[in-house]
Structure 1
């Protein structure tokens, strides 16, 4: 179900009868993309399950092209409708396009300051920062990976910009 900012019921999304299985088995995190898609990290399906705003299954993302298994945790989207997902299995934050195609890693274990297992994930539309919460050591990393000026002047897909800085804070 969807609700507006005041808590009033807006919409009930029906199950798509054309989907041969239950859409979600053990949902963890949920978010909505700019195009109206609803994204759910499903821990038992080992997938990010994406449906249209009307409840029709669009795709399920099960991991990067290398074929590794996905353990989806936090998910969010950015201003360009990229999908960001924390993968507990590879301990990375992966970026997908709006149609579920893997684009790049935003954070990996080799990223300076990334010394924990990522869990919660949030994106700040004002600063273009990604907040990554730890599942094991009570810390949070902040990474700004989109160059705002590129976004404002160029409509092409952009990849991670690690040079813009990352900080880590104890919470």
Structure 2
């Protein structure tokens, strides 16, 4: 006899008063969309974007499955963690396999790597996008640092387009657009 442990996840939406309004669990064929959802965000177009155990799963606001992104190259795999979206509806996700932040367009097409693991920073694990300054805050998974990245300008956000830098490198740890800070902490 063999016991097979299966895991399914779901996304549940509530209104402010705590009343359940929506559950997203299956695709249109009845198959489960999620295994182990980690992080969640909502894109400007209303899509629900979830960092699952081995994919980024995106559904429309109403719950219809749009796409799942499983890595930059076919067969490369993905172990997503921190996830967010920016003013241009890009999806930004930390990947524990490649130790990078990957940028996708709103339809799940890979656009670029924004950050790779470095000796100075470690590996990216958590993300937050500041809509006021158009900066991406990236938390390290191994050395208590937060880096702030500038990869789109205010003008890009206003015109809904992103112009790559002339050197072709959207971002690397050595560009002046990066500011890392060690966050000290004390034990209590």
TM-score by length of structure 2 reads: 0.78
Which residue does 1:168 correspond to in 2?
A: 180
SS at match of 2:157: helix
C-alpha deviation, 1:117, in angstroms? 1.8
- For 2:107 and 2:147, the matched residues in 1 are separated by 27
Matches of 1:127 and 1:107, distance apart in 2:
19
Contact 1:91 1:108 in 2 (8 A): yes
Q: Which has the larger radius of gyration?
A: 2
In the other structure, the counterpart of 1:32 is 42
- The alignment partner of 1:132 has SS state of strand
Q: CA RMSD in A?
A: 2.2
Alignment of 1:128-143 (within 5 A): 128-143=134-149
Unaligned runs of 5+ in 2: 1-11, 184-188
Q: Does 1:19 align with 2:29?
A: yes
| 1:104 and 1:159 in contact (8 A); partners too | no
Q: Is the 8 A contact 2:38 2:50 kept in 1?
A: yes
Deviation at 1:64, TM superposition (A): 0.6
Q: Distance in 1 between matches of 2:27 and 2:156?
A: 42
The equivalent of 2:14 in structure 1 is 3
The one of 116, 121, 132 aligned to 2:127: 121
Aligned partner (choices 58, 69, 73) of residue 65 of structure 1? 73
CA distance in 2, matches of 1:36, 1:108: 29
After TM superposition, what 4+ stretches of structure 1 lie above 6 angstroms from structure 2? Answer: none
Deviations 1:132-171 (A, max 9, x none): 111111111111110212332x344444754561111112
CA distance in structure 1 between the partners assigned to 2:138 and 2:34 by the alignment:
24
- Residues 17/64 of structure 1: CA separation in 2 closer, same or farther (3 Å cut): closer
